[in-house]
Amino acid sequence: MSSSRRGDSDEDHGVLVVISGPSGAGKTSICSAILDQVPHTVWSVSVTTRAPRAGETSGESYTFVTREEFGAKEAAGEFLESAEYVGHRYGTPREPVERALSSGQNVVMEIDVQGGMQVARRMPASVRIFVMPPDRESLRARLEGRKTEAKEQLQRRLAKADGEIATARDSGAYQHFVVNDVLDDTVEEVKTIIQQERERT
Ligand code: 5GP
């Protein structure tokens, strides 16, 4: 493929892997397994204004900032993409992603559909995967089992799921839709997609 598709002159690029899907579809478990099992693969640490959950440390899963700090970063053009999700801001810092890709590393990012659509436009050579829950009941059960969300947040996230799935389909931003029924099978499916993408490029 031509280097211009990546918007960069370096041919020895890693693959940018975008994982999206409704809250509770199992994206985080899939991403952890991919990071463990696929060599030369790094995690894109997003910036968010939501409060850390128990066990979350700033700089690992996310960098936690205030709305003011987020606004300053946005104004400085630091984000590859950004979105508002159930009342909180989320954004992907551009520089670490570009640096990792150009040094040949794959980058995995877990972002919402609005973000996925922005990445599809700005980084068209990325591979974008939408993770579907097997059905609505399993989505509810997983969200309830997580016990990290207040009841009102849980309802907002569930209500959002249907819209997200429809938007993902209508947008054309995702090349792959995978149903996360058995985690190990889904991980294998995603690994195959990454492998094929790596070989293709
Ligand atoms: P959570 O609060 O459950 O960690 O994430 C809520 C939603 O925000 C999820 O759909 C997650 O994929 C998405 N998200 C996390 N980081 C980012 C980001 O940097 N950009 C965008 N657009 N969405 C994000």
Pocket probe mutation, ligand 1, options 18, 44, 46, 147, max atoms within 8 Å of Cβ: 46
Give residue 112's pLDDT.
95
Residue 121's Cβ-side half-sphere holds a number of Cα atoms within 13 Å equal to 8
pTM: 0.90
Give residue 10's pLDDT.
44
Cβ 44 vs Cβ 108: under 8 Å? yes
**Domain positions in the chain:** 4-44+105-200
Give residue 132's pLDDT.
93
CATH superfamily of 4-44+105-200: P-loop containing nucleotide triphosphate hydrolases (3.40.50.300)
Dihedral sign (CA 74, 77, 79, 82): positive
**Which residue ranges have their beta carbon within 6 Å of ligand 1?**
23, 46, 50, 81, 83, 85, 90-92, 110-112, 114-115
Give residue 23's pLDDT.
84
Give residue 142's pLDDT.
81
User: Which residues in the chain show pLDDT less than 70?
Assistant: 1-11
